[in-house]
Every structure is written in structure tokens, then in C-alpha cells.
Structure 1
Amino acid sequence: MIGEIRHHLRDYTCTDPIQRRLEEIRQTIAPAIDTLTLRLGHIPTATEIAEELYVDLLEVTQALIARTGYQTSSIDSASGNHIAWH
């Protein structure tokens, strides 16, 4: 039963679904940020991320904005205050 609830929440609670292309970019941003931070010695700009991923700056910006929409509270948490970034 819990699994079905989790699947429903995962599949139907995103109020603004993002395009597949942005989803693909969104999934590559965190590793790119980690790599660039180590290489450059600072948190990378959106332009640096776009250059690293060989994608348009606008797409990176949209994906960065979209990734903030994936902030959720854990249904297993007693207080409901646990935040997980996906």
C-alpha cells in the first residue's frame, strides 16, 4: 500500500511537468556542478555549466529552475520536515 502511495505521489504531484530535454539536462547538472567546482575552485556559473554540458545557456537556466520544483518532504519522516533533493 505504501509503495502505491509513493508511486502516485511521484507520478502525479509535479504541478508543472518539464520537457524531456530539460529533464535530461536536470539529471546531469549535479554531477557537472561537482566536477566544475573541483576543477575551477568555485561554484560554477550557469554559463560554465552550459559549456561543460555542451548545451544552450537558456536550457541550463530552465533546468536549474525546474530542479527546485523537485523538493519534497519524506512521507516516512515523523515530522514531515525532511527535505530531499532529486
Structure 2
Amino acid sequence: MLVAAIVALFVAMLLTLVRAFLGPGLYNRILAINTFGTKTVLFIAVLGTISGRPHLFEIAVVYALVNFVTTIAVLRFTHRDDLRGGPGAPDEEPAR
């Protein structure tokens, strides 16, 4: 059963990468990369369960924290460029 979970997570990670490369806007791509990081944390946790290595759970928690902090930092950076009209401005028109 856990092997099926790993295969399903791997397929979901591949689909998320496709979404990250083909996303219509910058924020959609950032969200896809954040989702990929979350699926990676799940992948590491399930792998730790299968292999019987409890230290992989600690690695997964550290990876989740790094993923969260990096996503917030990238969003703040792109939001600053968005306000200036710089290179990080989204491809989509804002809703009025």
C-alpha cells in the first residue's frame, strides 16, 4: 500500500512540475513550486515509513520549514517588483 502511495506522489510531483513550467502567471508558478515542495515532504515521510528510518521524518520537517520560508521570501520579492513594475511583475492583468 505504501508503494502505491509513493508512485501516486511521484506522479503528482511530475504533474506539478509540468504546471510550474507551463503556468500562465508568475504567482501560479510559485504556487506550483510550493506544492512540489509539499509533495516532496510527503514523499520523504512515506519513504521513511517504508524503509524504517525515523530520521527521515526530521529531514522532512526541516525541508518543510525551508520550503515555507523560501516561498514567503520569493513572494515578498516578487510583490516588491510587482509594485515597481519590474521584471517580477505577473503576466496576468489584475482584477478590477
TM over 0.5: no
Determine which structure has greater relative contact order: mean sequence separation of CA pairs < 8 Å that are 6+ residues apart, divided by chain length.
2
Higher helix share: 2
TM-score (norm 1): 0.34
Higher strand share: 1
Over alpha carbons, which structure has the higher Rg? 2
